[in-house]
Amino acid sequence: MITPVTPIPQKKVPKPAPWKFWVMGGITVLFAIVFWWTLDMALQRKLTSLPSWEQAMQFLISLTFFCITLSLFGVLAMAAKRQRWWITALTAALAALALLPFFPWRLATLGAVGITLAGFWLWSWNIAGDVAGRKKFQPHYTIHAGFGTGLVLLLVGVSMCYYTSLGDSRKTAEEVRTGMIGAARNGIDFYLPKQIPGYTGSMTLDQFLSLVATDKFGEFIVPQITQTLDSDTKKEEAYKQITDQLSKVNPVFSTPQVSSELQKQLNSQLDAQRAVLQEEALKQLSAAQRQLLEEARREFLASFKIEATGSESMDTIIERILTRNVTRYVDPYERLIPPILALSFFFIIELISVVYRYVIFALAPLVAWVYRKFGLLRLETQVQTVQELEV
């Protein structure tokens, strides 16, 4: 037989005040506006290479508001449930539309609004379903419901905003080209002086070739300069021995400041002497050496497919080499660069989401606690009447 359980008298639960939902929704939209504003500030200078320190900090600020916005929205979806899901849906629409004033009006911008809205709606609907299925309020668990798919859609929307900020494909390609050349220049400027003693970016192409060019027998074309460099090496070794002796006599010479200053003075003197000796050596070349140097120059220019007279500085020569090679690979794909950058941006922010998603998960219970403290939320314990089947 079925024995009904005697219902336990319950106190009447007051209906939720509508204004509380509007307050929570308004706070969520406000933080969403701040997020889109900070993201626009971070993207005002096109992100076509590694960001500067200031721009990285701006992205960190924007990411912080992104996490706060999602935690606020998640708690609102928990409070509204499916009975008042339309309030959550309206809040999501306002939060998505808030990006329009900050980014150029393009088809991709409207796409960003739509995808962002879909992410908010999908996530909030799953949250509301999770709340209905739980007997206890557990925001630290409920916030996970549908979060993965919703976050991916939201990040796609953010990436499309980045795509709209890139603007003209030709200007973007030029910035990418400049960034690639600059990165390559930094590596070359660091590497060459360590591998080629006596190398400086201000030396001419002929001076550079006099350092490294050899004849068919493997002998240096201008051995006088090589001898000069060997002499410089001996001077540096002698300097180290002298500083070691001085540091033993007086500890002040062993301090990094004094040692660094002495090293700078020595390097300055050696560079000045080296430049004079190189110029004199090039002026006193024999006819055979000049011919070999011209052949080395022709081979060098032919291998990199650039034009030069030999009097240009190595900084200029390297700039021409890099510009030619980078242009060859960038220009044919000029129109594809903005989509590729946007796709790369999406993968980066998706990759680092393994970190900030836990910030969102941690903020949601904190937001719920703050709302409860201010009287916007409350917990009501209800006892339900159930039937048990007995034999």
Position 139 scores a pLDDT of: 82
H helices then E strands: how many in the chain?
14, 2
Strand partners, 2: 389
Q: Which of these ranges, 60-64, 324-328, 341-345, has the smallest mean pLDDT?
A: 324-328
147-166 and 53-80 are packed helices; what angle lies between their axes, rounded to 10 degrees? 140
Give the model confidence (pLDDT) of 161-205 as tens digits: 988 888 766 777 777 777 777 778 888 888 887 777 767 777 788
Q: What is the pTM of this model?
A: 0.69
Q: How far apart are CA 13 and CA 378, in angstroms?
A: 11
Mean pLDDT of the chain: 78
Distances (CA, A) of 250 to 81, 175, 255, 264: 78, 53, 10, 20
Distances (CA, A) of 25 to 131, 157, 378, 380: 18, 21, 17, 22
Position 14 scores a pLDDT of: 58
Strand partners, 313: 204
Mean pLDDT of the 306-314 span: 85
| pLDDT beyond 60 at 48 | no
| pLDDT beyond 60 at 27 | yes
Position 217 scores a pLDDT of: 43
| pLDDT beyond 80 at 60 | yes
Mean pLDDT of the 15-25 span: 83
What 3-state class would DSSP assign to 214?
strand
Position 358 scores a pLDDT of: 92
Position 63 scores a pLDDT of: 93
β-pairing, 2-4 with 387-389?
antiparallel
Give the model confidence (pLDDT) of 226-280 as tens digits: 544 444 455 555 556 556 655 665 565 566 665 666 666 666 666 666 666 566 6
DSSP class of 204: B
| pLDDT beyond 60 at 318 | yes
Long-range contacts formed by 330-335: CB under 8 A, 24+ apart: 330/173, 330/176, 330/177, 330/180, 331/173, 334/169, 334/170, 334/173, 335/169
Evaluate the CA torsion angle 240, 246, 252, 258 in order and state its sign. negative
| pLDDT beyond 80 at 111 | yes
Residue with more model confidence, 342 or 241? 342
CA of residue 364 relative to chain centroid, distance: 27
Position 271 scores a pLDDT of: 62
> Which two structure tokens, joined as six digits, stand for 308?
């030069």
Which pLDDT band holds residue 121 (cuts at 50, 70, 90)?
very high
